[in-house]
Structure 1
Amino acid sequence: MRRRVCPAGTCERTYARPHAALRPGVHGYRGFRLTHTGPQRRLVIPRGTVSLVIGFGPGPEPDGPRDGTRDGARSGPTGGHGGEHIRATTSLATGLHTRARHFARQGALHGVEITLAPWVAHQIFDASMSELADTVVDPVDVLGPGFRELTEALQAAPDWPARFALVDSALVRWTRSAHLGRSPAGELLGAWDLLVRSAGTITVRDLAAATGWSQRHLENLFREQFGLTPKRLARIIRLRRALRLLITGTTPADTAYACGFSDQAHLTNEFTALVGMPPRRFLAARGTKGLPSHWVAG
């Protein structure tokens, strides 16, 4: 477990690894406490993971409309230029996204984020991952009353070690009680691994050939159990690699070459399409003084 406090002292984050029985499908836990009182927006970049946020207090209030599905708890599919603006409750479950999202907040925020591989979410959520793609839902809708019980236990826990232990116990219980039919086939996990190891550059044809399935069958399984087709996931994986290089100081031209873009303009166009702003603007906004690097002043 490790803890980080921002220079201004208005935010602290505590990180922990899940229980060994949950790895590698459960990637990690991030406890957070934010006390900055001014209005802020969190820019969430597309990534190949599912996020489950459990709030203990005032939460993010994404600044867009919600539709009325699933008793009003589900937000509508996100879309549009410049990053999506979506509304949600203090606790959120988010599927894989193909566009950046803005979450607005003002005041304190306290909770824990659990990062899941999509096939783990498919096992424990009462929903197809394709239904959750580009969508935010109330976790109760996909986890049932057990989620409320976990939230209440986390609120009463005295410290982060106790909270992370509670999360471990809940996830072990949920994964063990999941229906066997929701577990991914070995070939599907192998295809995911190939896609990740290629940094999103392998073709769908080669990916299908490696599994022995048709491209259509592979795409249908990816969509059902992961939420997106291989091609759309490849765009996200390549974007994440480009982000890592840009953040560590690699020039846009060198980043474009390393990630397989045809040129810097191709990188800029793809980055803008997925993030809502070009790389240089994103890097400038990312380091706003006094805020965590993942918050952009609103």
Structure 2
Amino acid sequence: MPYRSVVSPLHEVVQVPPHPRLRPGVQFYRGFRIHAGRPRERLELPVGFATLLLGFDHRITIGAVGAGRAADPAGAPRKTYTSLLAGIRTNSVIGVHSGTVHGIEVVMRPWAAYAMFGVPMHELTERLVDPTDVAGTTMRRLTDRLAEIPDWPSRFTELDRSLLRRVEDGPGPAPRILRAWDLLVGSAGTMPIADLSRELDWSERQLERRFREQLGLAPKAAARVLRLQHAMRLLVAGRPLAEIASRAGFYDQSHLNREIRTATGMTPGVFLSRTLHAPAAAARVDGTVTTLVLQA
């Protein structure tokens, strides 16, 4: 069912499922129009999905955590986007906008982005790119059309039409990749890669090549992201660190601490405190906290 949240006349979020033929690869659309009145800084945490952001009239500056907002995830000077396409990533980034943002976000499983854009997903790993870099001017024309449409339902209908055409013309993921991703997600990243390889009747080398092509990361790196997401869910739920480390597949509590600090730039205690006391925190997919407002 569509979900609509209006915090104030100047803050609107509308979330809906995509057309049935786009599911389960495309998980949801989120339309937003926000006028916060002052700049906002957001920590975007490591995620196991791809995101297409079609911005209508705003710009977002992206920087790497721990780099003083001076570098992007690849180490280059920070970059500013109106629209962007992001693949799966293992580290957090910080996004800053002026306080006014308006557009649509498409959240999808990594293999759905491969099916939609037809580019090897490892080219998007740990990166953010302008959608026109991978899809040409059709993405800019789509964004312009969506911005001109006056209501959300009509926008989502137009987005369905456009994305369905892309998926129908795209390469389509390998069936065994779909199975592999479901198994890995179902185990929260704890399934041994050797077991995954045997289940699919692929060599580990084949598995790694297909993962990098259609999901973006090697199997072990993808599993690491899923374990981290699981650990963060348990942390926010108030579970003790020792229990989290055991349930989420880490060697010990020290290993868990290092992983969270490496991924977010914070210790588990600081991350939990910021999550509980921040002006807002977003659980965007399957209960996973993926966005933390640092400045609002």
What TM-score does the superposition give when structure 2 sets the normalisation length?
A: 0.87
Following superposition, the deviation at residue 227 of structure 1 comes to 0.6
1:35-81 CA-partner distances (Å, limit 9, x unpaired): 113222111111111100001111211247xxxxxxxxxxx97257x
Once the two structures are TM-superposed, the CA of residue 253 in structure 1 deviates from its matched residue by 2.8
Equivalent position of 1:238 in the other structure: 227
8 A contact 2:29–2:104 mirrored in 1 = yes
Contact 1:32–1:110 (8 Å) recurs in 2: yes
The match for 1:162 is 154
Q: Which residue of 2 aligns with 1:35?
A: 35
Q: CA offset at residue 175 of structure 1?
A: 0.7
1:97 correspondence with 2:89: yes
Match of 1:111 among 103, 108, 112: 103
Tell me: CA distance 1:126–1:210, structure 2 relative to 1, closer, same or farther (3 Å): closer
Equivalent residue in structure 2 for 1:250, among 230, 239, 244: 239
1:56 partner letter: F
Given the alignment, which residue of 127, 134, 137 partners 2:119? 127
1:205 aligns with 2:205: no
Unaligned runs of 5+ in 2: 65-70, 283-290
Counterpart for residue 72 of structure 1: none
Structure 1 Cα separation of the partners of residues 17 and 105 of structure 2: 12
Alignment match, 1:45: 45
1:190 paired residue among 140, 164, 179: 179
Partner of 1:13: 13
Aligned length: 280
Which 4+ residue blocks in structure 1 deviate beyond 4 angstroms? Answer: 287-293
Deviations 1:7-37 (CA, angstroms, capped at 9, x unpaired): x776332110011111001111111222113
Partner AA of 1:19 in structure 2: H
1:218 to 207, 213, 216: 207
1:130 shift after superposition:
0.9
Residue identity over aligned pairs, in percent, reads 39
Report the CA distance between 1:85 and its aligned residue.
8.2
Tell me how far apart the structure 2 counterparts of residues 60 and 77 of structure 1 sit (CA, whole Å): 12
Aligned position for 2:295: 297
Residues 59, 110 of structure 1: 8 Å contact kept: no
Q: TM-score, normalised by structure 1?
A: 0.87
- 8 Å CA contact retained: 2:63, 2:72: no
Residue of 73, 78, 81 corresponding to 2:73:
78
**In structure 1, how many angstroms separate the alpha carbons of the residues matched to 2:127 and 2:245?**
29
1:127 is paired with a residue whose SS is coil
Could you tell me how far 1:265 is from its partner in structure 2?
2.1
SS in 2 for 1:31: strand
Separation of aligned partners in 2, 1:22 and 1:162 = 17
Query: Over aligned residues, Cα RMSD in angstroms?
Result: 2.2
C-alpha contact 1:85 1:103 (8 A) present in aligned 2: no
SS at match of 1:250: coil
Q: 1 CA distance for matches of 2:151 and 2:268?
A: 38
SS at 1:239 equivalent:
helix
Matched, 1:88 2:93: no
Residue 205 of structure 1 aligns to which amino acid in structure 2? A
Q: Deviations over 1:65-120 (max 9, x none)?
A: xxxxxxxxxxx97257xxx9841311000111111011111231111110111112
| Contact 2:58–2:100, Cα closer than 8 Å, also in 1 | yes
**Equivalent residue of 1:98, what SS?**
coil
Relative to total residues, which structure has the larger strand share, 1 or 2? 2
Native 8 Å contact 2:72 2:79 kept in 1: no
Contact 2:86/2:128, CA 8 A, preserved across alignment: yes
Residue 56 in structure 1 maps to residue 52 in structure 2: no
